[in-house]
Amino acid sequence: MRQFRIFVLICAFSGSLLCSGQMAPPQLFSGMEGFTFLSDGTAIPIWGYGWVADGYITLPGPLLEYNQNDFVQLNFTNPSPESHTIHLHGLDVDQVNDGVPATSFYVTTGEEATYSFTANHPGTFLYHCHVTTTLHLTMGMYGMILVNRPDMMLYDGGPAYAENAPILFSDLAIETNMNPVQSFPFHDIRPDVFMVNGVSGNQLEQAEHIITFEAGQPIALRLGSMAYSLLRLDFPEELHATCYMSDGRPLPEPLEVVELDIFPGERFTVMIEPDAGWDGYIPCEFWNIPDQQFEDEQLIRVRDASLDVPTLGTNDSPAGFPNPTRSSITWGGLESICVFDAGGSMVFQGALLQGKLDVQSWPAGLYTAILSDGRRSRFSVIH
Amino acid sequence: MFLSMMSWTSSAQDSLWIARGEWPHIPDSVQSIRFNANSDWTSINATLSRVPDQLSTLVLINSDSIMHTWKLEAEGEQEWEIGGFDTLSLNIPALAAGAYRFGLTNEVGRVLGASGQLQVGLDVDFPLFHWNLGDWSIDRMVAADLGLPIAWDAPYIPEQFTINERTYPATVDDVDALVTMSLGDTCLISIVNHGFMDHVFHFHGFHVTIVSSTLHPERVGWSKDTSPILRGEALVVQLVANQIGMYPVHNHNLIAVTNAGFYPGGMITQIHVMP
């Protein structure tokens, strides 16, 4: 309860700055009481990062985007019961901003900190907690950073692109996430859920996870891995995939790619210019590194935006997922909804109060909401 | 990418002793086999150095009681068998500048960790550091030492991860593993993966340029902060110290930054850049 109060105060403070006309930079917080939902609806505990203004943590953490040469001040607050940090992976920041407790500093419970750096190089980077790193990453404390150029070129003299598609691979070990206190020894952590942008299986067929393109408009795939596994991507020839960058630096020569291996912590920028009308998948294989065994395959769908193809209902916004820092779900701009439980029975029909549905007293379970504009949204209630 | 190789000055190690003894750097104190530079036992494998493009010789002295097979992983790879308590003189071929892996390939020799790196033309213009990477299953080592069968089909769960046969924090006491530089300096780091699994190293604070690689030659010239070193790969990177401070370098497969499962440990070292 105390954490919740601290959290509300931070939100209010942030809001007052915005109301007074001052520019308050976005502020990340760390939490240890979140959940992610597997494709079968199972709720798995996570630790992670979220925007203070949103009030919930996500898997992966929020995408941080900056422009090249920005002087960044990333404000971070830690209301969670353990110390955390933010390591700015690949940005080559100075020692004090490196996020390694032994050489930089801890952000202990209730503390705030600011990480400062200049985003010198455009490219794809990562961030993650560097406290007891093996455990905190497994629990979900990571995200992606993009440093863009306003002229939409990958780098000075590089090719131009129409859109970024950030793709962060990761995995989790259910047993560890369910019981992190008993997760020793760490060397035998072997993941069993393999994710693309925090989801897997048929969740990747939801509209928000499909990469859509307009013919002739190149898309920059921003690929990064926080997985324990080796990622092996196969690019269909219709995508005309070319790798231009790795780890935030241009390659000496662009590389046409058919197969691409991505090891933990690596990043690649691959440009695709799919054939008009194409609708297909990029297969992403996850391989166990110690045993060199195939573990799982996830499929990233790429589709011509002009195609009229039905897709699974969208989750609309991450606010559709409640967690212990929130008691309600928010759908902005909607008047009414119908909600069905997992058995298909309607459990709610009516108006939203200020766009919010209070689920605090609802039984735990998986629900589907039919929104008044026709969209569908799934959410779980957990206690 | 490589520098003039004519100013090579260090003296070449022309003999290696194959020896068996205790490995005190890990708590289980298991028996290990190592390449030693002389007849005195040390659990740290010796490193060889040669000039580029020149034939040379090497004398192997097997002070172990069983036959071993020695191999240099370079172009035109060759293996030599050496009997227990035997001595063998062999030719090292003329090699281009870079790092190369050598080691025992018979089961006992490999599992007990006799492997090292041959540095060709690397100690010329820049300070040179080296990291021999190892992953270790104590069960496998004990079985190999006792001559028992090794369960190769069982899942591989190594408990120890080492740089130059040491685990963090002992790695930062190793002058070959701890990278110490002054601002503006350049150094080379020669990294060889002797383990049974691929590894991937992340540099805090810096990008490095790949100078040579035995398994990823297409990556020469790439600037990376995170680089895989595949099983058996020998990789040389160049580091320019463009900021001061202390920065970790570690395996980003995070099971490998542990000692017997406890964090932090394993494959972690540091870069120290002084003003």
CB A170 within 8 A of CB A198: yes
Size of interface A-B (CB pairs under 8 A): 133
Q: Which of A142, A141, A135, A228 is nearest to A176 (CA)?
A: A135
Q: What is the CATH number of domain A2-148?
A: 2.60.40.420
Q: What is the CATH number of domain A318-381?
A: 2.60.40
Residues whose CB is less than 8 angstroms from the CB of residue B243 and which lie 6 or more positions away in sequence, other chains included:
A92, A94, A95, B183, B205, B206, B273
Query: Contacts of residue A266 in chain B, CB cutoff 8 Å?
Result: 200, 224, 226-228
Q: Which of A186, A83, A173, A70 is nearest to A125 (CA)?
A: A70
Q: How many residues does chain B have?
A: 275
Sign of CA dihedral B74, B80, B84, B85: negative
Q: CA–CA separation, A172 vs A6, rounded Å?
A: 29
Which stretches in chain B have pLDDT values below 50? 1-11
What is the percent of chain A where pLDDT is above 70? 84
**CB spacing of A89 vs B225 below 8 angstroms:** yes
Q: CA–CA separation, A236 vs A153, rounded Å?
A: 24
DSSP output for A27-82: EEEEEEEEEEE-TT--EEEEEEEEETTTTS-BSSPPPEEEETT-EEEEEEE--SSS
**Facing residue for A265 by CB, picked from B155, B196, B202:** B202
Q: What is the pLDDT of residues A329-341, one digit of tens each?
A: 666 666 778 888 7
User: Under an 8 Å CB criterion, which residues of A touch B?
Assistant: 87, 89-90, 92-96, 98, 100, 102-103, 132-135, 137-138, 184-190, 228, 230, 246-249, 251-252, 255, 261, 263-267, 289-292
CB A305 within 8 A of CB A212: yes
The backbone torsions φ and ψ at residue B112, rounded to the nearest 5 degrees and listed phi first, read -85, 0
Give the three-class secondary structure for B96: coil
Best B168, B226, B247 residue to mutate vs chain A (most A CBs within 10 Å): B226
What are the structural domain ranges in chain A? 2-148, 163-304, 318-381
* Res A192: pLDDT: 94
| pLDDT (tens place) for every residue of chain A, 383 residues total | 233 222 222 333 333 333 333 444 569 999 999 989 888 878 899 999 999 988 889 999 999 999 999 999 999 999 999 999 999 999 999 999 999 999 999 999 999 999 999 999 999 999 999 999 999 999 999 999 999 999 999 999 999 999 999 999 999 999 999 999 888 899 989 999 999 999 999 999 988 999 999 999 999 999 999 999 999 999 999 999 999 999 999 999 999 999 999 999 999 999 999 999 999 999 999 999 999 999 999 999 999 999 987 665 544 433 334 454 456 666 666 677 888 876 677 888 888 777 778 887 887 777 778 877 777 676 777 65
**Facing residue for B258 by CB, picked from A89, A134, A190:** A134
* Res A342: pLDDT: 67
Best B1, B196, B225 residue to mutate vs chain A (most A CBs within 10 Å): B225
Q: What is the pLDDT of residues A125-166, one digit of tens each?
A: 999 999 999 999 999 999 999 999 999 999 999 999 999 999
The strand ranges marked E within B30-86 are 31-36, 48-50, 56-62, 68-73, 78-82
Q: What is the mean pLDDT of chain B?
A: 93
* Res A324: pLDDT: 47
- The enclosing H or E element of A174 equals helix A174-178
Whether A163-304 and A318-381 share one fold: the answer is yes
Give B224's strand partners.
Answer: B208
Q: CA–CA separation, A191 vs A98, rounded Å?
A: 27
Domains for chain B: give ranges and CATH numbers: 15-125 (2.60.40.420), 160-274 (2.60.40.420)
* Res A311: pLDDT: 63
Q: Which two tokens stand for residue B161?
A: 């991860």
Residues whose CB is less than 8 angstroms from the CB of residue A172 and which lie 6 or more positions away in sequence, other chains included:
A36, A44, A46, A138, A139, A140, A191, A192, A193, A195
Instruction: Give the burial class of B57: count Cβ atoms within 10 A of its Cβ; 0-12 exposed, 13-18 middle, 19 or more buried.
Output: exposed
**CB spacing of A133 vs B254 below 8 angstroms:** yes
Best A97, A103, A134 residue to mutate vs chain B (most B CBs within 10 Å): A134
Specify whether domain A163-304 bears CATH 2.60.40.420: yes
**CB spacing of B159 vs A187 below 8 angstroms:** yes
* Res A327: pLDDT: 61
Query: In chain A, count of helices (H) and strands (E)?
Result: 3, 25
CB B227 within 8 A of CB A112: no
Query: Contacts of residue B225 in chain A, CB cutoff 8 Å?
Result: 89-90, 92, 247-248
Q: CA–CA separation, B114 vs B66, rounded Å?
A: 14
CB A245 within 8 A of CB B223: no
Give the three-class secondary structure for B217: helix
Query: Contacts of residue B207 in chain A, CB cutoff 8 Å?
Result: 92, 247-249
**Facing residue for B157 by CB, picked from A133, A265, A290:** A290
